[in-house]
Amino acid sequence: MTEEHKRKIGEANSIALKGNKNALGTIRNDMKGDKNPARKPGIGKKISEAKKGWNGLMGHQEENSNGWKGDEAGQDAMHDWVYRQKGKPKVCEDCGATAKERRLQWANKDHSYKRKLDDYISRCIPCHRKYDLENNF
């Protein structure tokens, strides 16, 4: 790398950083972390109605997808679907433990894994294991 090339790189870097540094050459506090607008992608962008059900990586979601399997989907896909519909479980319905005390899961009551939200109950991991062992699942 020639000295001329190094000089040009140095000038380019100083111009690029000029707006984010003060007179002492340190990064301004108002541009750190979450205050930096460059770190908040999507702020101010409007999403059209046509794009709301669309995920760029997976295509259309839910029933509109060509790959939709309905009740024939696997166990992991069913649990993902339940999380999208019901959100994160808050309290274990067996022992009353909260999400702050233990990890919670949506457990299928009868292991039929159908698309019925009433078939899923919030359980902590110990209660989930105990239930599965008692019912030979």
pLDDT tens, position by position, 74-92: 888 888 889 988 999 999 9
Query: Quick one: pLDDT at residue 49?
Result: 63
pLDDT lower than 50: segments of the chain: 23-24
pTM: 0.51
Query: Quick one: pLDDT at residue 58?
Result: 52
Residue 127 burial (CB < 10 Å; 0-12/13-18/19+)?
Answer: buried
Query: Quick one: pLDDT at residue 78?
Result: 87
Query: Quick one: pLDDT at residue 56?
Result: 56
